[in-house]
Chain A
Amino acid sequence: DQQVKQNSPSLSVQEGRISILNCDYTNSMFDYFLWYKKYPAEGPTFLISISSIKDKNEDGRFTVFLNKSAKHLSLHIVPSQPGDSAVYFCAARDYSGNTPLVFGKGTRLSVIA
């Protein structure tokens, strides 16, 4: 049973526009969420995170929004650049911090010049 779901396997966006990647979760014990980015032939790299006490966290062009009541989070990239083309994984962990991260299946973002 997938506790973290990324329902869009792929997304294409034009350079300069906004990219919105979505993630849904089912476990109400999750209270910390992360986004990882993965280029081909490399391991995932941490991008941005958000705690459940916040509903938004911003880091440069990247903003993560959390809607706890809907158990939904999204990653916004503005403006999108060709170098953002990668697979983006959403991950979550519960409040204890002692359990492993649970990852979604990823969304492949293609930014077209």
Chain B
Amino acid sequence: DSGVTQTPKHLITATGQRVTLRCSPRSGDLSVYWYQQSLDQGLQFLIQYYNGEERAKGNILERFSAQQFPDLHSELNLSSLELGDSALYFCASGVTDTQYFGPGTRLTVL
């Protein structure tokens, strides 16, 4: 158990809809990282927050946004969903060189 929790585990929704994925980092970790793993793709970095502030941005679509709250949990919001957004979404906490990953949320867009 990494100490990072993600909810929900599975999410099935329709194209055009909006969903929110939630992540609670390990106790004491200030950074949260979000990744997307699509079929046959590696882990694509989306965005990093550190103590409530955006720290780094990767290949995150404009339809996606994230935030980190004062209690350090983070939410990833995905809107106007497309079929191609179906993927595993992981959150991690820790520092760059030692990241602890949650179990992921599997998003299926129908």
Residues of chain A whose beta carbon lies under 8 Å from any beta carbon of chain B: 4, 6, 9, 32, 34, 36, 41-46, 49, 89, 91, 93, 97-106
Contacts and interface: CB of A to CB of B under 8 A. Distances in A.
Nearest to B35: A103
Contact of B90 (A4, A34, A43, A102): A43
A103 B43 contact: yes
A105 B42 contact: yes
Interface residues of B, number: 24
A2 to B, nearest CB: 8
Contacts of A101: 45, 96, 99
B97 A49 contact: yes
Given A105-B40, A105-B42, A42 B96 contact: no
Interface string B77-102: 00000000000001010001111111
A97 B98 CA distance: 11
B25 interface: no
B72 to A, nearest CB: 18
Contacts of B40: 9, 105
B101 A44 contact: yes
Given A101-B45, A103-B42, A105-B42, A43 B104 contact: yes
